[in-house]
Amino acid sequence: MIEVQHVTKQFDNITALNDVTFTIPGGSMFGLLGTNGAGKSTLLRVMAGILACDAGRILIDQEPCGEHPEGKEKFFYLPDDPYYFPNASMEVMTGFYRRQYTGMDPESVAYMAERLELDIRRPLRTFSKGMKRQAFLIMALCADTEYLLCDEVFDGLDPLVTEVMKDLFRKEMEERNLTVVVAAHKLKDLEEFCQDIAILHKGGILLAGDMRKRAGEVFKIQCVFDGDGSKAAEEELRACLDLVRFRQEGYFTTLIARGAKEEILEQIQARNPVFCREVPMTLQEIFLAEMEGNGYDVGKVFQ
């Protein structure tokens, strides 16, 4: 388990992280969502012990992060643009990482690389962006750490390569108690992949947790009101319900409201709709409902 407790980090007069607090359960796939500059990379570097926070602390398995050399063997940090020596191959970098991670398995690296048609002896500088991402992900997974911290690991990759990499994550998580933290700036990279997601905005946390569980108190209703009844219904429903959205398209009116479903439906039925039914909410709609009023430009993460 990773516990982020009131973490603040400043660079001169810029606050990159502002009193960030949340918990990442062990053995889970956790997503950090936010636009460029939201603080995702800084938070991952603090979690990896590369940067020291100005206030607060991060605990990994209840131990302070990065204070003891042996503790750093618990996690592997995979940055957006991983460093490698000039002309180094996967084979050379695997040997380098093995000095830090005693669990690094060169045979597993070779096996996984062969399955993905990557030459472990070929210089990494000759690899495409997608091939480099796959190569370093293989080495990260074969380091046999308990935690894996990944920064924009899917950015710019084609859909096929993205699915291959997600399958590698899933396979390792099924076989061992691996905790994965993935930072991304688009929801689609995380929505079918992470159980829990935290949204970073201007260095702070807007919300964190299982978004689908949060949908238990937010409901989407589609209905049809007779004639011009939708205008009157909107005014009345806004007065008695916690409406997130009320949108009319042709004959259909779609509304999203917070609260008890029975009460929401009762109030709608009191306005005598011709048609009324509950419809499932997408994860994007759940995010929109949760972030309503926070001043977050959600369009940037739904592209």
pLDDT of residue 259: 83
74 compared with 209, residue with greater pLDDT: 74
pLDDT for position 296 = 54
Split at pLDDT 50, 70, 90, the class of 94 is very high
Determine what percent of the chain falls in helix, strand and coil, rounding each to the nearest 5: 35, 30, 35
User: What's the mean pLDDT in 181-209?
Assistant: 79
Cα→Cα distances 249→113, 201, 244, Å: 51, 32, 17
What secondary structure letter does DSSP report for 282?
P
Half-sphere exposure of 250 (CA within 13 A, CB side): 2
Task: Answer yes or no: is pLDDT of 122 > 90.
Answer: yes
What is the predicted pLDDT for the residue at 140? 92
pLDDT > 70 in the chain, percent: 87
pLDDT digits (tens, 9 = 90+) for 266-290: 999 988 888 899 888 776 777 766 6
Element (H, E) at 218: strand 218-224
pLDDT of residue 136: 92
Calculate mean pLDDT across residues 210-226: 76
